[in-house]
Chains A and B, each alone.
Chain A
């Protein structure tokens, strides 16, 4: 079986800092996603990538950059962390088409 690994599990940053979150999958899935999870707001799509070197903006892309240099990895950068920001960032992957998503366990971000 495969796995999606997100690093780090916990991230504490300072206001204005650039922060990078990493995601690796060994399913050989084509498509990868970054979601932000806030209490009461569900899952909101930040970026997704259909294949290596492809990037597509989601509904919440402002304030974020992403990079897909290899098929197996997808990184997300918070370009300028906002004070008191607290959220969980979830990475997911899928084969594509009508297949379901497989999620990582998340990176929990706190900005002080």
Chain B
């Protein structure tokens, strides 16, 4: 297993276009998270899946954002009608539920630049 894989690593798009990011988590991990990180900030929670169920969404996740994890394996994050404020690093992480400890393993991220 090569860890958490994210594609594409960098996406440049024009305002108003749709973009989709893909995340392949560590295979035995049942939890999958999406975070967003902007310059000078720490990662901010967007949404969380346990297996294929999306259990929580942050208020940061506007109606233009949608995430899926159709078979409880890989996940996609789609942003519709992108805005310049969507420019950020989108990080995916996965973890295995183990009692109190919830150690997330992050991918390298997908950087979005909206022109």
Asked if A and B are interacting partners, one says no
